């Protein structure tokens, strides 16, 4: 009995510790927007440690004797597409996501255990007299469990934006790290758009544009600050009360 009680207490303490860790994290995020995952590049607008995967060595430019063609060149003429740090590239952001889930789970279980000792080498009567137990009904246990759960997710998102970004770094394999930041203020409302990611030079079009679907490690942040955004946020006290209430 004591061992079972100690196990229950340990389980309750572990659950409380996990809940408190989550509560502390949520308390630290009061008033802040949801944190975005950092991309694997230290020089991008979203700081992060360098990538753990090894990168191929940079190509060594070579040019054959008596030839105007250089290794890695796309044409004989100047290429207007972004290729060096500081170059500008236009990012077309188009997001049209639809997700719909409807899940239902039902679980039911019934247990029943019965035990008796009506015949035991003729010793059932002395045992009953000694212990006071009824041999015909020693153990009779039963339990019923029933769980029903359901969940529905219906989400639709549509974003269409265009943003000019800068090439912040050229990786050894020729891919470009880009980052852009745009702010628009109308009266007392500020709209903030940020984009960062890694682009292949082959995916950049002749008009020096790239689509969001072709950006690796893409991080898009579109939000705002001002009177309207402030009114849509719950007060700090309400957020604190919602985090700390256990029920």
Task: List b or e across 15-25, with b for residues whose CB sees 16 or more CB atoms inside 10 angstroms.
Answer: eeeeeeeeeee
Q: What's the CA dihedral at 111, 116, 120, 122 to 10 degrees?
A: -170
Whole-number pLDDT of residue 92: 94
Nearest to 47 by CA among 212, 196, 221: 196
Percent of the chain exceeding pLDDT 90 equals 14
User: Measuring CA to CA, how many Å separate 33 from each of 28, 36, 218, 229, 240?
Assistant: 11, 9, 18, 11, 15
Task: Give dist(CA 160, CA 115) in Å, integer.
Answer: 71
**In 169-194, which positions are buried (b, 16+ CB within 10 angstroms) versus exposed (e)?**
ebeeeebbbbbbeeeeeeeeeeeebb
Closest CA to 94 of 165, 163, 5, 22: 163
Long-range contacts formed by 179-183: CB under 8 A, 24+ apart: 179/44, 179/45, 179/46, 180/45, 180/91, 181/45
* HEC profile of 194-235: EEEEEECHHHCCCCCEEEHHHEEEEEEEEEEEEHHHHHHCCC
Q: State the pTM of this model.
A: 0.53
Extract the tokens encoding 8: 């229950």
Neighbours of 51 (CB within 10 A): 14
Q: Which of the two residues, 6 and 182, has the higher pLDDT score?
A: 182
143, pLDDT greater than 70:
yes
Strand 88-115 versus strand 209-211 pairing type: parallel
Of the listed ranges 64-68, 91-95, 127-131, the one predicted with least confidence: 64-68
For residue 84, what pLDDT is reported?
85
pLDDT at site 37? 52
Question: What gap in Å lies between CA 199 and CA 171, rounded to an integer?
Answer: 10
- Name which residue leads in pLDDT, 79 or 162: 162
pLDDT given at position 243: 76
Work out the mean pLDDT of the chain and round it to a whole number: 75
Q: How do strand 189-199 and strand 176-186 relate by DSSP bridges? A: antiparallel
More confident residue, 52 or 109: 109
- Tell me what the mean pLDDT of segment 2-31 comes to: 55
User: Counting Cβ atoms within 10 Å, is residue 199 exposed (0-12), middle (13-18) or buried (19+)?
Assistant: buried
- For 184-226, the pLDDT digits (tens) are 888 878 888 899 999 999 999 989 999 999 999 999 888 877 7
* Residue 99 pLDDT greater than 60, yes or no: yes
Q: Which band of pLDDT confidence, cut at 50, 70 and 90, is reported for residue 40?
A: very low
Q: Which of 64-68, 84-88, 214-218 has the lowest mean pLDDT?
A: 64-68
| pLDDT greater at residue 192 or residue 52 | 192
**22 CB-near residues (< 8 Å, 6+ apart):** none
Higher-confidence position of 104 and 33: 104
List, in order, residues 6 or more apart from 4 with CB less than 8 Å away: none
Predicted local confidence at residue 3, as pLDDT: 54
């Amino acid at each position: 009995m004591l061992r079972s009680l100690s196990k229950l207490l340990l389980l309750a303490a572990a659950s409380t510790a996990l809940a408190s860790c989550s509560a502390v994290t949520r308390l630290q995020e009061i008033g802040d927007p949801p944190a975005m995952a950092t991309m694997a590049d230290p020089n991008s607008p979203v700081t992060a440690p360098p990538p753990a995967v090894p990168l191929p060595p940079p190509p060594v430019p070579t040019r054959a004797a008596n030839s105007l063609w250089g290794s890695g060149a796309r044409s004989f003429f100047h290429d207007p597409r972004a290729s060096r740090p500081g170059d500008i590239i236009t990012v077309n952001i188009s997001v049209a996501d639809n997700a719909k889930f409807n899940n239902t789970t039902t679980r039911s279980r019934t247990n029943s255990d019965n035990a008796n000792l009506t015949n035991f080498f003729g010793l059932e009567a002395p045992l009953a007299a000694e212990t006071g137990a009824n041999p015909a009904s020693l153990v009779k246990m039963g339990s019923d469990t029933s769980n029903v759960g359901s969940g529905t997710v219906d989400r639709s998102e549509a974003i269409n934006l265009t943003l000019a970004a800068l090439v912040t770094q050229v990786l050894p394999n020729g891919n470009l790290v880009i980052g852009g930041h745009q702010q628009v203020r109308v009266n007392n409302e500020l709209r903030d758009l940020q984009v960062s990611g890694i682009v292949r030079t082959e995916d950049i079009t002749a008009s020096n544009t790239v689509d969001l679907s072709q950006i690796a490690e893409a991080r898009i942040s579109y939000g705002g600050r001002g009177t309207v955004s402030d009114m849509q946020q719950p007060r700090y006290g309400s957020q604190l009360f919602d985090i700390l209430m256990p029920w």
